[in-house]
Amino acid sequence: MEVWRLLPVLSRKLSLHGSSCGGDLVTRSRIRSCGVTVIQGNISRSYFSTGPPVTESTALVYRSHGVPSQVVQLETHKLPALEAKSALVKMLAAPINPSDINMIQGTYAILPDLPAVGGNEGVGQVLEVGSQVQTVKVGDWVIPRDAGLGTWRTAAVFSEDDLVTVPSDISVLSAASLGVNPCTAFRMLSDFESLMPGDTVIQNAANSGVGQAVIQIAAAKGIHTISVVRDRPDLQQLTDRLKAIGATYVIKEETLRKPEMKDIFKVCPRPKLALNGVGGKSATELLRHLQTGGTMLTYGGMAKQPVTVPVGALIFKDVKVRGFWVTQWKRDHKHDEALRVMLEELCTLIRAGKLSAPPCTEVGMKDFHKALDNAMKPYISSKQILVM
Ligand SMILES: NC(=O)c1ccc[n+]([C@@H]2O[C@H](COP(=O)([O-])OP(=O)(O)OC[C@H]3O[C@@H](n4cnc5c(N)ncnc54)[C@H](OP(=O)(O)O)[C@@H]3O)[C@@H](O)[C@H]2O)c1
Identity of the highest mean pLDDT range in 31-35, 39-43, 108-112: 108-112
Minimum-distance ligand 1 atom for the alpha carbon of 300 = 45
- The alpha carbon torsion through 58, 54, 343, 203 (nearest 10 deg) reads 10
Local structure of 19: helix, strand or coil = coil
Give the HSE-up count for residue 99: Cα atoms under 13 Å, Cβ half-sphere: 24
Tell me if 101 CB under 6 Å of ligand 1.
Answer: no
Nearest CA to ligand 1 atom 11: 300
- Helices then strands, counting H and E runs in the chain, come out as 13, 19
Question: Is 249 annotated in the active site?
Answer: no
What's the 202 CA to ligand 1 centre distance in angstroms? Answer: 15
- Strands 273-276 and 200-203, bridge-based pairing: parallel
pLDDT tens, position by position, 289-302: 999 999 999 999 99
Mean pLDDT confidence for 314-342: 97
Measured between alpha carbons, how far is residue 51 from residues 26, 36, 89, 90, 102 in Å?
A: 17, 7, 14, 11, 36
What pLDDT is recorded for position 9? 29
Tell me if 209 CB under 6 Å of ligand 1.
Answer: yes
Q: ∠ at Cα 74 (72, 80), nearest 5°?
A: 110
Tell me if 299 CB under 6 Å of ligand 1.
Answer: yes
Tell me if 279 CB under 6 Å of ligand 1.
Answer: no
> What gap in Å lies between CA 48 and CA 201, rounded to an integer?
45
The domain ranges of the chain are 56-178+358-387, 181-328
Tell me if 96 CB under 6 Å of ligand 1.
Answer: no
What pLDDT is recorded for position 52? 84
CATH number of 181-328: 3.40.50.720
Q: Which CATH superfamily is domain 56-178+358-387 in?
A: Medium-chain alcohol dehydrogenases, catalytic domain (3.90.180.10)
Is there a common fold for 56-178+358-387 and 181-328?
no
Task: Grade residue 268 by pLDDT with cuts at 50, 70 and 90.
Answer: very high
Task: Grade residue 47 by pLDDT with cuts at 50, 70 and 90.
Answer: low
Nearest CA to ligand 1 atom 17: 208
Mean pLDDT confidence for 75-93: 98
Does residue 38 register a pLDDT over 70? no
What pLDDT is recorded for position 51? 75
What pLDDT is recorded for position 50? 62
* Cβ contact 291:274 at 8 Å: no
Tell me if 182 CB under 6 Å of ligand 1.
Answer: no
Does residue 39 register a pLDDT over 60? no
Angle between helix axes 181-191 and 338-351 (nearest 10 degrees) is 110
Nearest CA to ligand 1 atom 45: 300
What's the 266 CA to ligand 1 centre distance in angstroms? Answer: 30
CA-wise closest residue to 325 among 183, 218, 217: 183
The one catalytic residue in 108, 249, 299, 379 is: 108
pLDDT tens, position by position, 274-321: 999 999 999 999 999 999 999 999 999 999 999 999 999 999 999 999
What pLDDT is recorded for position 301? 97
Q: ∠ at Cα 225 (183, 312), nearest 5°?
A: 100
Q: To test ligand 1's pocket by mutation, which of 96, 105, 276, 302 has the most ligand atoms within 8 angstroms of CB?
A: 302
Tell me if 205 CB under 6 Å of ligand 1.
Answer: yes
